[in-house]
């Protein structure tokens, strides 16, 4: 299974990170800089058109977490 987690400190990402680690799954973690507005950039909106963080992409598909 291919997992990519887009996360930011203070954005309720911790629970998802803990679950991934507890399950022993491999995941590509990508930090999103909310302070600079990275979640509103065109490249991030291609990942999550809602501009929300965290975002979990599994097998190339977005899974809404918030």
Q: Where are the domains of the chain?
A: 3-64
- Encode pLDDT of 9-25 as tens digits: 988 899 999 999 999 99
CA distance 55 to 41: 14
CA distance 54 to 66: 7
Residue 61 has pLDDT above 80, yes or no: yes
Give this prediction's pTM. 0.87
- From 3.10.20.30, 3.30.300.30, 3.40.30.10, 2.170.190.11, which CATH number describes the 3-64 domain? 3.40.30.10
CA distance 34 to 30: 12
Nearest to 48 by CA among 62, 59, 38: 62
Determine contact, residues 55/17, Cβ cutoff 8 Å: no
């Amino acid at each position: 299974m291919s997992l990519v987690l887009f996360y930011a400190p203070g954005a309720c990402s911790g629970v998802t990170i803990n679950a991934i680690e507890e399950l022993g799954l491999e995941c590509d973690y990508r930090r999103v800089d909310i302070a600079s507005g990275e979640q509103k950039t065109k490249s991030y909106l291609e990942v999550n058109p809602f501009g929300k963080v965290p975002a979990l992409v599994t097998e190339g598909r977005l899974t809404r977490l918030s």
